[in-house]
Amino acid sequence: MESNWIGNRSVPSESTDALAVVNPATEETLGEIPRGSAGDVEQAVAAAKAAQRDWGGLSPVARRAALYEISNILLEHKEELARLNTIEMGKPLFLSRNEIIGAATAARQFGELAVHMRSGSQQAAYGELNFQQRFPRGVVGVIVPWNYPVALGVENVSAAIAVGNTVVWKPSEKTPLTSRRIAELAFAKLPPGVVNLVLGNGPGAGQPIVDHPDVSAILFVGSEATGRRIGESCGRSLKKAILELGGKDPLIIDETVDIEKAAAFTIDAAYFNAGQLCTATERIYVARQIFEPFVEALTRQSRAIVQDDGLMDNVGMGPIVDRIQLDKIVEQVDRSVAAGAVLHCGGARLDRKGWFYPPTVITGVTASQPVMADETFGPVAPCVPYDDFDEALALANDHRYGLAAVLCSTSAPRSLKFLHEVRAGMIKVNAPPRKAPGGTSEPVGASGIGAGYGQELLLELTRQSSIQWKPAI
């Protein structure tokens, strides 16, 4: 059974209950991790707390140098880490390579951003100073999901430590192996206790991290349901919570687009990583004038996608991460079809080993059907026609989530209207619903609270004090 990584040492869990880690393409067991325990978390928090004063006392330049070294190690071991990521998560190998590169880039980015953080000052009376200073929050709990375990783990851990915090990191129990390897390979270059990794599920390890009195902030990426529970727990203890939660992100396509290019764009937006992306497009609103040819083009291009084990050559889409997630997708599509929706391609699990679900185009859907109402997290593209742009905007905004929203159009007036009126933290025009270089966003509605990415995330991970200094009483 895999062990935790605490104080730069391999530490066996107090829990003897095991959770299997399974390859989603083959259904073969890759290994086991502990279920986790409050005792494991106690050890990790103690190590992080002991290390925080010295780590937080370093200059930002010194911490930047450490993050640059971590970045270099990730790139040196890119092939090893990418292969392990694909084996446990399922995504094609080229996506895993890009994920490692993105994680390495994020480590460098946050190291650099921390050096350039600035606080304000005021004009003061002669002989005194009046200014603001930002300080680390202390020990930060970082709890991340299974869809991008390396990128989300390394990125958020790097942001936290760049500004002087120490970390207790819990990767998803579905995809823990790459994170565990990175902790020992890269973060072990830091002083003991700066980054600690605890394995386990939500009840065994996640909740004890959230509830621990010495954890000053929680950075969580995951489901709305879990995020709400974490938010409630943090509220009771007045603990800082940064939560990026679910999405049901809309894409509006107007009649000014090239239909074939718009279909290819939609495939990238809806099927990237088999649709297992917080900002994946899950509601597609198409101008009625082009609706039928668009659906035909989307269906044809969807059928051409090569789906197989992510380690194989020329694979465009891998499997779904596990049987639980696969069954959720199957149920949503089946219930929607039973309620009157029409399938154009896909719509059933592939008859083969592994948890594969094909690209699925579906029309005739209503707002109340599961594929339009609930987060799917799978390669499903529900398409709905609209008659005018105001109607499309109203449909896009008619949901509790507001993580990302996209418009495909060559119309500048419509684009400006979209930017001002759509309810989303990440707004894109003719660009895919993924992070913009150097950008940041804050979720809207049930999609979370707190700024993610960029300089604003570093502000969330620090506290500001107002300081007035006189030389004598």
Question: In the chain, what are the domain boundaries?
Answer: 4-245+447-468, 249-437
E-state strands within 54-190: 129-136, 139-143, 166-170
pLDDT in tens, 147-201: 999 999 999 999 999 999 999 999 999 999 999 999 999 999 999 999 999 999 9
* pLDDT given for residue 122 in this prediction: 85
In the chain, which residues have pLDDT < 70?
A: 437-438
Whole-angstrom Cα distance, residue 338 to residue 247?
24
Contacts (Cβ under 8 Å, ≥6 apart) of 157:
142, 167, 169, 187, 195
What is the CATH code for 249-437?
3.40.309.10
Whole-angstrom Cα distance, residue 366 to residue 416?
28
pTM check: above 0.85: yes
The residue among 61, 39, 238, 214 whose CA lies nearest residue 138 is 214
Q: Is 209:218 a contact under the CB 8 Å cutoff?
A: yes
427: which 2 tokens? 């707004």
Residue type, 125: A
Class of domain 4-245+447-468 (CATH, top level): alpha beta
Residue type, 152: L
Within the chain, what is the greatest distance between any pair of CA atoms? 81
* pLDDT given for residue 121 in this prediction: 83
SS3 66: helix
- Catalytic center residues: 244, 278
SS3 315: coil
The residue among 404, 222, 242, 181 whose CA lies nearest residue 325 is 222
464: which 2 tokens? 């500001």
* pLDDT given for residue 96 in this prediction: 99
* pLDDT given for residue 441 in this prediction: 86
* pLDDT given for residue 435 in this prediction: 81
Contacts (Cβ under 8 Å, ≥6 apart) of 350:
307, 356, 357, 358
- Asked if 4-245+447-468 and 249-437 have one fold, the answer is no
